[in-house]
Structure 1
Amino acid sequence: MYAADEVVCVRDPWLPDRLLRTERDALMPLLRRTPEARFELRTACPGWTARQVLAHCAAALVRIVEGRLEEGVFLPEANAADVAEREPWKLGRVLDELERGFSEAGPVIAATEDGTLDAVALGEWVHAGDVREAFGEPGAYGGASLDLALPLLSVTSRRRDTPALVAVVPDRPEPLALGGPVEGRAPARYRGDAATLVRLYSGRPLVGTRYELTGATEQELLIYR
């Protein structure tokens, strides 16, 4: 039986790098062959097209690579400024910057002793799902990277102080432990597929999904606010 006080948050510093590189190899060929007009499709991110989401992703990763991490760098206003800066760029330049970020940010993230940038790598993977969904691609928040993303989600959910939760997911040999213990409160329970679990924690639309959640609200599970 899982108990809230048994959760151990163990960081694998190279997990974000493996996630980013795996996602690079899966996503970039899709982006390179997609007609440019499709990048103007709207995504689950309010107000942002697929192109703008990718511009944000590229800017965030290259900021990490180049050490440009001044205070407030990932706040909404700064993100919007990064996207606006890239509006005049040709799409190919945005994709080149994104591929560079996927390739080079991982070692920098690994070198951060406190793991504060790990959530950025997870966010990049979630945003890749946003773009896949906008393009109508199957498995938007799944695919080859899912086995790397779920452990990172577990660690990030604990760092972001979400309540302890036990997730029973089909095809997983054991339940997933997310979040951290709250005194006097039993762990919440989730039963459903992994992609929907990702949607819950990242605040993505849940229309058309099926899941059971007891002991917590959807709002309490959000790791990106």
Structure 2
Amino acid sequence: MTTPADLNDDVRDPELPGRLLLLERDELVPLLRARPEADFALPVAACPGWSVRDVLAHCAAALTRVVEGRFEEGAFSPAANDRDIAERAERGSAEIVDELERGLTEAGPVMARADGPLDGIALGEWVHAGDVREALGEPGAYGGRSLPEALALLAALTRRQGRVALHADLDDADEPLRLGEATGERPPGRFLGDAATLVKLYAGRPVEPGPEWELAGVEAAELNIFGD
């Protein structure tokens, strides 16, 4: 896997979220259009109580809010997420995929102009795409052609948010990845393993322990960027 030159760059790339969304659009939408209707009812382990259809409805709604500039108080709260899914309950799966495709296409420029606050939504969309792939039994759920952009955005977000520092030596990247912000009060944590496992840890997804990966100097709960 080729790592983007700006993977450890502290300067925000305003086009990065949009690039990630467009790459995901080109990978995910054709996959969804080729799946039978029954697959949309499959449960998503990473999102208890939600089906594939529910996750896609949530993703489509979030991007539509971004494109339309609807950022009312609580717009991305759990209650709002449930309302968004309920509002789409009578729509066909193809219509939800159409809305998702439009959002993935049009949200990037809005995120670029927002100068940072919306960047995490792009990463969240990418993670949810991994959740859906996992539910559908697709290989490389949290990877693929857009992984370098996802890692670059993850690194940028964790540094911008002042998260605990972590040095990641990835099996499938050309160079180490620096995440979080070193404070001098504690040494950086260390991760050894594959990029998909690292992403799942930062997204609060369950990860089976095993010899394939190692986390030291930091607890997994400290990494979760969607948990607070």
Aligned to 2:21: 20
Alignment partners' CA distance in 2, 1:208 and 1:136: 20
Aligned to 1:200: 201
Aligned to 1:45: 47
Residue 211 of structure 1: which of 203, 210, 213 is its match?
Answer: 213
One-letter identity of the residue aligned with 2:203: S
Change (3 A) 1:159 1:72: farther
Aligned to 1:4: none
Q: 1:172 offset after TM fit, Å?
A: 1.9
Alignment partners' CA distance in 1, 2:86 and 2:109: 28
One-letter identity of the residue aligned with 1:190: F
Residue 224 of structure 1: which of 220, 223, 226 is its match?
Answer: 226
Aligned to 2:181: 180
Change (3 A) 1:8 1:138: closer
Secondary structure at 1:190 match in 2 = strand
Secondary structure at 1:182 match in 2 = coil
CA shift digits 1:123-148 (9 cap, x unpaired) = 00000000000000000000001011
CA shift digits 1:146-168 (9 cap, x unpaired) = 01100000011223332000000
One-letter identity of the residue aligned with 2:10: C
One-letter identity of the residue aligned with 1:78: A
Secondary structure at 1:111 match in 2 = helix
CA shift digits 1:83-109 (9 cap, x unpaired) = 111111111110110000000000000
Query: How many residues get paired?
Result: 218
Q: 1:8 offset after TM fit, Å?
A: 6.0
Q: 1:208 offset after TM fit, Å?
A: 6.2
Counterparts of 1:1-225 in structure 2, within 5 Å, are 9-43=10-44, 44-113=46-115, 115-207=116-208, 210-225=212-227
Q: 1:205 offset after TM fit, Å?
A: 1.5
> Does the 8 Å CA contact 1:190/1:213 hold for their aligned counterparts?
yes
Secondary structure at 1:46 match in 2 = coil
Aligned to 2:5: none
Amino-acid identity (%): 59
Give 4+ residue runs of structure 1 displaced > 4 Å after superposition: none
Secondary structure at 1:196 match in 2 = helix
TM-score w.r.t. length of structure 1: 0.93
Structure 2 gap segments, 5+ residues each: 1-7
Structure 1 gap segments, 5+ residues each: 1-6
Q: 1:203 offset after TM fit, Å?
A: 0.7
TM-score w.r.t. length of structure 2: 0.92
Alignment partners' CA distance in 2, 1:72 and 1:10: 29
> Does the 8 Å CA contact 1:162/1:222 hold for their aligned counterparts?
no
> Does the 8 Å CA contact 1:160/1:223 hold for their aligned counterparts?
no
RMSD, matched Cα: 1.3
> Does the 8 Å CA contact 1:20/1:125 hold for their aligned counterparts?
yes
Secondary structure at 1:11 match in 2 = coil
